[in-house]
Structure 1
Amino acid sequence: MRAALVLLLAAASPAAGQVTPFTVAGDAIEAPLAGRAGDAARGEAVVKNRESANCLICHSIPDAREAFMGEIGPPLAGVGARLTPGQIRLRLVDPTLVNPGAIMPPYHRIHDLVRVDPRFAGRPVLSAQEIEDVVAWLATLRE
């Protein structure tokens, strides 16, 4: 029931052209958003971009060249061995669908948000392509 609700909310949102509908199966979104293939190199750049996704404010990654990484979220080293691409995708799109108490923001949702940065009002933080790029890169982190 919750998966159907999510799909309908995404399709009916005012920015339906910007939020891609998806279907949750268990704890994953198995199908790539909009059928897009991800590019791991672009995904790494998105994760390291401290102006948009800002993943490193909460997570650490296996890259000693990155300074000032967070410790609030789990380390991303080995995430590709722990989670499937579909599980990673769901956690990026809307982690509250896995854990309602998640403090990680949803990166591909625009409804029911509070304290939204004006740059992202009415649009998702990451596009469907950026989500797929990040999924592709995180899936490579196997150790």
Structure 2
Amino acid sequence: MKHALGGAALAIMAATSAYSEAVKPANVAFNDGIVEASLTGQPGDPVAGRAVFADRKLGNCLACHTNTDLSEESFHGEVGPPMDGVADRWGEAELRAIVTNSKKVFEGTIMPAFYIDSGYERPLEDFAGTSILTAQQVEDVVAYLLTLKE
């Protein structure tokens, strides 16, 4: 039992350490429209990324994008480009930049910046100073988008 608890404590410490080492939103390095380095140093989870993509309270990506892979979800928007084949159009570093802060990639875009913590208006004070997605959620969404090939 002691070993199980010790192992659990080590796992929690490791997870906390990995989270604390995530690149802060203000420190994300954009270089020629890409973000080459992972924001967490951890691989993204495409299954978790699919859930974030579909979640109306997180990414809310379906509000603007169609996505055949999520055909079970209703009300796909058509403001942004379709997500079908997005991995054929963009590489990992490009997708990371777009999800992190599309405004640094596409001039005049209405797509939200999902990983910034200042420079925007928030309707609720509770959310001031926080990003829409965590660094790991960004990596998860990128991993999911990389599965969307034609």
Query: Highest Rg: 1 or 2?
Result: 2
Report if aligned partners of 2:118, 2:130 keep a CA contact under 8 Å in 1.
no
Larger proportion of helix: 2
Per-residue CA deviation, residues 9-34 of structure 1 (Å, 9 max, x unaligned), is xxxxxxx9853622112121011103
User: Where in structure 1 are there 5+ consecutive unaligned residues?
Assistant: 1-15
Structure 2 matches for 1:1-143, cutoff 5 A?
Answer: 19=25, 21-62=27-68, 63-114=70-121, 116-118=122-124, 120-143=127-150
Cα offsets for 1:95-129 (capped at 9, x unmatched): 11012311001000022112x24253210000000
Report % sequence identity. Answer: 37
- TM-superposed CA distance for 1:65, in Å, is 1.0
Q: What stretches of structure 1 move > 6 A for 4+ residues in a row? A: none
Given that 2:39 and 2:135 are in contact with CA atoms closer than 8 Å, whether structure 1 keeps it comes out as yes
Residue type at the aligned position of 2:83: L
Rounded to whole Å, the distance in 1 between the matches of 2:73 and 2:25 is 30
Shift of 1:135: 0.2
TM value normalised by structure 1: 0.82
Q: Name structure 2 gaps, 5 residues minimum.
A: 1-21
Normalising by structure 2, we get a TM-score of: 0.78
Q: Secondary structure at the match of 1:24?
A: coil
- Over aligned residues, Cα RMSD in angstroms? 1.8
